C-alpha cells in the first residue's frame, strides 16, 4: 500500500510548507495535480484603463441591440465580447426568430400572454412575455435592414450597425470581475486572450449580455458559455434566479457540436421568421423516458421512436400535449393535482404525434446540461427595463432571469426575439441612467486587488488543472439522475462533491497561459452554478415544467407558485428567498427560506 498518497493534501502542505509541499504533491501523481509550467509572466502584462457611459458585455443578439440602442439614445457605448461578434454563445445556434404582427396574428397580445402562462403553469413573468411579443416585429425589421436573414453566418450583419455608428468593439476579452463602488456599478475587469493585456473598464452603467451557460457537455455548442455574467453579478451582491430549471435540448449523434437547427433538421440554414405557435417544449420528458425505459431510447422525427409507452413522469397540460386529443383551454385549477405525464390515448407511443421533426437524432434530451430554459435564469429584474438589484447594472437575453416564457420553452423563436427586445430596452434604459450618473472613481487599491485576484492562477507554482476539475464536475452534475430526474438523496450526494470542489480545488486552480487562465475562471463559475442548481433543486419540493422530482412528482400550487432567488448575505453565505409568481415587482412579497 502506498501510504504517501493517503496523506491529505491540506495536511501535507501544512507540514512541508507551501512551495515544497505542492512540488512534492505534483511528483506523487495526484490526479489533476501538476507543476505550473508558466508560459506567461504575469509581471509583463500591460495594464489598460478605458472609460465609457455604457459597457455592454457580450457579442450576441442581446449585446448587439444593447450597444446600438444605447448609442442611439445618446450614450457613449463600448462593446466587449469573449468571442467574436455574432459568432459565439448561443446566437449562431438560433435559426428562427419570433415576430408578432398584430395585423395578421390569430390572437391578441393579451391572449398570447395568457396562453404562454398556461403552458408555463404560471411560472412566467407576464410583463416580459407581453413585452417580447409587442416589440418583436420592430426588432425583426431592423435585422432585415442589416442583412441578418441573408446568411447563415451573423458576423457581417451584426457588424453593419456597429460599424455605421463607430461603436468601439473589443473581441476575445475575458471579463472576470464586475466592479461596484458606493453601492453602484462602476465597471468591470478582464484580460485579452490574444494579447498580454489586462483591462479595467470604468463605466457609468453595465449591461450583461453574457448568455446562459452549461457544464461544457459534448453534443451542444455552448462550450464558451459558463454563466460568467450571472456569477460575477452574484459576487458583488446582485440577486439571481432560476437555477432549478433545466433545458432539455437533445443532442445529435453526428456533427454534435455544429450549429444544428433541431426543429427543422437542417445545418447552417439562413435564419427565418416564426409566427405564433405556443408549445410546452425542452422539458425533461425524454430524460424521464430514458430513466424509466433504460438505454437506448431512440428519438427522432415523429413516429420514429419505438420505445414502450410509459406512465407517470413530468406533467404536460393537455392543451399543449401534442400526443393528446383532449386539449382544454384552461390549465389545472389552483390547488388541484393534475394527472402526471399523460401519454397518448388509444395506444399511442412517445415519439408519435405533432412533435417537431429532427428533435434528437439518436440522443436523449439533456445535451445542454447546465443551461436553463431560455430567459428563466439570470439576474433578478426589479422593473420592466431589465435593471438588476444593483443600481446601474442591467442584463438582457439569457443573462436576465426575466421568466419571459417561464420554466418551460413555450414559443419557437422567442429566445432570439427576447434577446433582441431586451437588449434594446436595456440599452435605452442604461443610456438614460448614465445621463445623471458620474464617471466612477475606482481606487488604486481596488484595481490592484482585482488584478491580483484575476491573475493569481498564473502565480501558483503548482495546483489543479482547470480541465481536470471541469471533468470532475461534469461527472458529478451531468448524469440524468442528478440534473434532470431528481431526488433529494442524489442531490445532496452531488452537493457534497461540489462543495469539496468549491472549498478545496477552486482555490488551487492554476494556469500556465492566458487560455488556461480563462478556463480557471470559467471552471470557478461552473462550480458556483452547480452549487446553486443543486440547492435550489433541493428547496423546490414539487415538480413543475422543466424541474422534476421523483420524490415530489406533483405540482404544489399551495407552496410553490413562486420563483427562487439567490443572493449573498453580508458574511458571503448563499441565501435563498421565494418570490410569488404574481408579485413582481412588489418586493414586499419576498420570503426568505
Question: What does the pLDDT read at residue 7?
Answer: 41
Half-sphere exposure at residue 78, Cβ-oriented, CA atoms within 13 angstroms? 20
DSSP string, 292-352: HH-S-----STT---PPP----S---GGG-TT-S---SS-PPTT--PPSSPPPSTT--TT-
Q: Which helix (H) or strand (E) holds 96?
A: strand 96-98
Q: Residues of the chain with pLDDT > 90: what percent?
A: 71
Q: Which residue has the cell 459568432?
A: 87
> What integer best gives the mean pLDDT of the chain?
85
**Cell reading at 456:** 493569481
Residue 23 has pLDDT above 50, yes or no: no
pLDDT digits (tens, 9 = 90+) for 155-167: 999 999 999 999 9
Residue 387 binned pLDDT confidence (cut-offs 50, 70, 90): very high
Instruction: Read off the pLDDT of each residue in 359-385 and give the average, rounded to a whole number.
Output: 81
What is residue 591's predicted lDDT score, i.e. its pLDDT? Answer: 66
Pairing of β 46-57 and β 77-81: parallel
In the prediction, which pLDDT does 256 show? Answer: 58
- More confident call, 590 vs 132: 132
Contact 541, 556 (CB under 8 A): yes
Of 97, 95, 90, nearest to 220 (Cα)? 90
Angstrom distances, CA of residue 91 to CA of 279, 398, 514: 21, 11, 25
pLDDT tens digits for range 240-292: 999 999 998 876 666 655 554 444 444 568 999 999 999 999 999 888 988 98
Q: How far apart are CA 161 and CA 166, in angstroms?
A: 8
pLDDT exceeds cutoff 60 at 350? no
Q: What's the CA gap between 259 and 95, in Å, rounded? A: 9
| pLDDT tens column, 303-315 | 334 444 556 789 9
Q: Specify the pTM.
A: 0.88
Question: 362 versus 118: which is more confidently predicted?
Answer: 118
> Is the pLDDT score of 375 beyond 70?
yes
Burial class (CB in 10 A: 0-12, 13-18, 19+), 496: exposed
Note the pLDDT of residue 241.
98
Q: Over 50: is that where the pLDDT of 233 sits?
A: yes
511 pLDDT more than 70: yes
Model confidence pLDDT, tens digit, residues 547-561 = 999 999 999 999 999
pLDDT grade for 297, boundaries at 50, 70 and 90: low
Full DSSP string of 175-223: EEEEEEETTEEEEEEEEESSSSEEEEEEEEEEEE----B-S--TTSS-T
Amino acid at each position: 500500500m502506498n501510504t504517501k498518497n493517503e496523506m491529505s493534501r491540506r495536511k501535507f502542505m501544512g507540514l512541508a510548507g507551501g512551495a515544497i509541499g505542492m512540488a512534492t504533491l505534483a511528483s506523487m501523481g495526484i490526479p489533476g495535480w501538476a507543476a505550473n509550467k508558466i508560459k506567461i509572466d504575469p509581471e509583463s502584462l500591460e495594464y489598460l484603463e478605458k472609460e465609457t457611459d455604457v459597457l455592454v458585455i457580450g457579442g450576441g443578439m442581446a449585446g448587439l441591440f444593447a450597444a446600438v440602442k444605447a448609442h442611439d439614445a445618446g450614450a457613449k457605448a463600448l462593446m466587449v465580447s469573449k468571442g467574436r461578434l455574432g459568432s459565439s454563445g448561443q446566437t449562431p445556434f438560433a435559426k428562427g426568430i419570433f415576430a408578432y404582427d398584430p395585423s395578421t396574428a390569430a390572437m391578441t397580445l393579451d391572449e398570447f400572454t395568457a396562453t404562454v402562462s398556461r403552458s408555463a403553469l404560471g411560472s412566467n413573468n407576464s410583463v416580459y412575455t407581453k413585452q417580447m411579443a409587442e416589440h418583436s416585429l420592430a426588432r425583426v425589421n431592423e435585422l432585415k435592414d442589416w442583412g441578418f436573414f441573408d446568411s447563415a453566418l451573423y458576423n457581417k450583419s451584426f457588424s453593419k450597425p456597429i460599424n455605421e455608428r463607430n461603436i468601439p468593439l473589443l473581441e476575445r476579452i475575458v471579463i472576470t470581475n464586475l466592479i461596484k463602488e458606493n453601492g453602484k456599478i462602476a465597471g468591470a475587469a478582464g484580460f485579452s486572450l490574444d494579447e498580454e493585456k489586462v483591462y479595467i473598464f470604468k463605466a457609468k452603467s453595465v449591461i450583461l449580455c453574457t448568455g446562459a451557460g452549461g457544464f461544457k457537455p459534448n453534443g451542444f455548442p455552448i462550450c464558451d458559455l459558463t454563466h460568467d455574467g450571472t456569477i460575477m453579478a452574484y459576487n458583488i451582491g446582485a440577486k439571481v434566479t432560476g437555477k432549478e430549471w433545466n433545458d432539455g435540448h437533445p443532442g445529435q449523434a453526428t456533427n454534435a457540436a455544429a450549429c444544428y437547427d433541431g426543429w427543422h433538421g437542417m445545418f447552417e440554414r439562413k435564419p427565418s421568421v416564426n409566427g405564433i405557435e405556443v408549445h410546452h417544449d425542452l422539458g425533461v420528458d425524454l430524460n424521464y423516458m430514458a430513466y424509466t425505459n433504460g438505454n437506448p431510447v431512440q428519438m427522432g422525427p415523429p413516429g420514429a421512436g419505438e420505445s414502450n409507452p410509459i406512465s407517470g413522469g413530468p406533467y404536460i397540460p393537455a392543451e399543449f400535449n401534442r400526443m393528446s386529443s383532449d386539449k382544454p383551454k384552461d390549465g389545472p385549477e389552483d390547488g388541484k393535482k393534475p394527472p402526471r405525464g399523460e401519454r397518448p390515448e388509444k395506444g399511442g407511443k412517445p415519439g408519435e404525434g405533432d412533435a417537431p421533426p429532427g428533435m434528437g437524432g439518436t440522443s436523449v434530451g439533456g445535451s445542454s446540461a447546465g443551461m436553463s430554459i431560455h430567459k428563466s435564469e439570470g439576474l433578478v429584474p426589479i422593473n420592466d427595463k431589465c435593471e438588476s438589484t444593483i443600481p446601474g447594472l442591467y442584463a438582457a437575453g439569457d443573462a436576465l432571469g426575466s421568466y419571459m416564457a417561464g420554466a418551460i420553452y413555450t414559443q419557437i423563436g422567442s429566445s432570439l426575439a427576447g434577446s433582441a427586445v431586451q437588449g434594446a430596452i436595456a440599452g435605452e434604459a442604461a443610456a438614460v441612467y448614465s445621463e445623471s450618473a458620474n464617471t466612477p472613481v475606482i481606487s488604486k487599491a481596488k484595481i490592484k486587488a482585482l488584478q491580483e485576484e484575476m491573475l493569481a492562477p498564473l502565480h501558483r507554482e503548482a495546483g489543479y488543472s482547470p480541465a481536470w476539475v471541469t471533468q470532475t464536475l461534469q461527472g458529478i452534475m451531468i448524469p440524468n439522475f442528478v440534473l434532470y430526474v431528481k431526488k433529494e438523496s442524489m442531490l445532496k450526494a452531488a452537493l457534497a462533491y461540489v462543495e469539496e470542489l468549491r472549498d478545496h480545488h477552486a482555490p488551487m486552480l492554476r494556469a500556465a497561459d492566458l487560455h488556461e487562465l480563462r478556463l480557471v475562471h470559467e471552471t470557478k463559475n461552473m462550480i458556483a452554478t452547480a452549487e446553486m442548481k443543486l440547492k435550489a433543486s433541493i428547496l423546490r419540493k414539487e415538480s413543475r415544467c422543466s424541474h422534476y422530482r421523483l420524490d415530489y412528482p406533483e405540482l404544489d400550487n399551495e407552496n410553490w407558485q413562486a420563483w427562487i432567488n439567490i443572493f449573498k448575505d453580508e458574511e458571503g453565505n448563499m441565501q435563498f428567498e421565494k418570490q410569488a409568481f404574481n408579485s413582481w415587482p412588489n418586493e414586499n412579497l419576498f420570503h426568505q427560506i
